[in-house]
Amino acid sequence: MRWCRRSPAVMRSCFQIHRGVLVLLAMTSAAAAGADLTTYTNQRYGYSIRYPASLLKPVENTDDGAGKAFAAISGHAAFRVAARPLAGHTATEVADEAQQICPGARPHYRVAKQGLAAISCQTGDHILYQKSLLRDGLEIRVRGEYPARERQVWDGVVTSIARSTSTADRP
């Protein structure tokens, strides 16, 4: 892209093209994510999530059967969903624990309210996002980590996965 440095007008054009490509990529990813959602269900804890199979592949179960990890098919994102007993913790306590993954324990975004705790922050060149639903004595946690440079693709995906989390009666 050395030719982009020739003049201010050419640089503006390169910037607009680059921005357009990123927007197109994000729109394509979002459309693909909505078009091919696959459900992961955890029978042990009675929850499920929906994820875009064209963007993510399941890679491993947790050792205790509480969840599953997912990796990007293309790119460098990693997602994990798991459940654990809430053990009487409040939403504020869950959010306090979650934000320890943030540099200086200072998230860019934090919410702690009845039935929900969520944080988001940037550590180095990675975005970290964690949302926990607090239901029936369980914490059902969705966590995503991805490079900030891939944010246009993964922000919508992590939000979609977190919003799709649902619970059912446990066996």
What pLDDT score does 7 carry? 60
Amino acid, res. 22: L
At residue 9's C-alpha, the angle toward residues 8 and 11, to 5°, is 60
pLDDT value for 67 = 95
* Boundaries of every domain in the chain: 37-167
* CATH H superfamily, domain 37-167: Mog1/PsbP, alpha/beta/alpha sandwich (3.40.1000.10)
Q: How confident is the model at residue 65, as a pLDDT?
A: 85
Model pLDDT, residue 3: 44
Q: Is the pLDDT of residue 4 over 80?
A: no
- CA dist 48 and 139 (Å) reads 13
Name which residue leads in pLDDT, 171 or 157: 157
Tokens read off for 18: 């680059």
Beta strands in 43-101 (DSSP E): 47-52, 56-61, 67-72, 78-85
Q: Cα(44)–Cα(42) distance, rounded to whole angstroms?
A: 6
